[in-house]
Amino acid sequence: MLGRPEVPADRALRLAQLGLRPGATVVPLHRTAGGGRVVAVGDARVAVARVTLGSIPASPPTDER
């Protein structure tokens, strides 16, 4: 699960538009040549730069059964 990104407001808005918002569940898929990652957010695939990844806190999803 994603936490609130520590980035300027305009970048946080863009991340939210891409589905990378607090509480979202993401699945890492691939590494990019520059050290970023391609992640799955729902049915979408999003490439995220390494610098941006470092500003988004993440934790394992909780098991809500």
Q: For position 61, what pLDDT does the model report? A: 73
pTM of the full predicted structure? Answer: 0.80
What are the residue boundaries of the structural domains of the chain, listed by start?
9-53
Which pairing describes strands 37-41 and 27-31: parallel, antiparallel, or unpaired?
antiparallel
Q: Is 15 exposed, middle or buried (0-12, 13-18, 19+ CB in 10 A)?
A: buried
Tell me the per-residue pLDDT of 1-60, one tens digit each, with 9 for 90 and over: 899 999 999 999 999 999 999 999 999 999 999 999 999 999 999 999 999 988 999 888
* Per-residue three-class SS string for the chain: CECCCCCCHHHHHHHHHCCCCCCCCCEEEEECCCCCEEEEECCEEEEECHHHHCCCCECCCCCCC
Q: For position 65, what pLDDT does the model report? A: 54
Q: For position 41, what pLDDT does the model report? A: 94
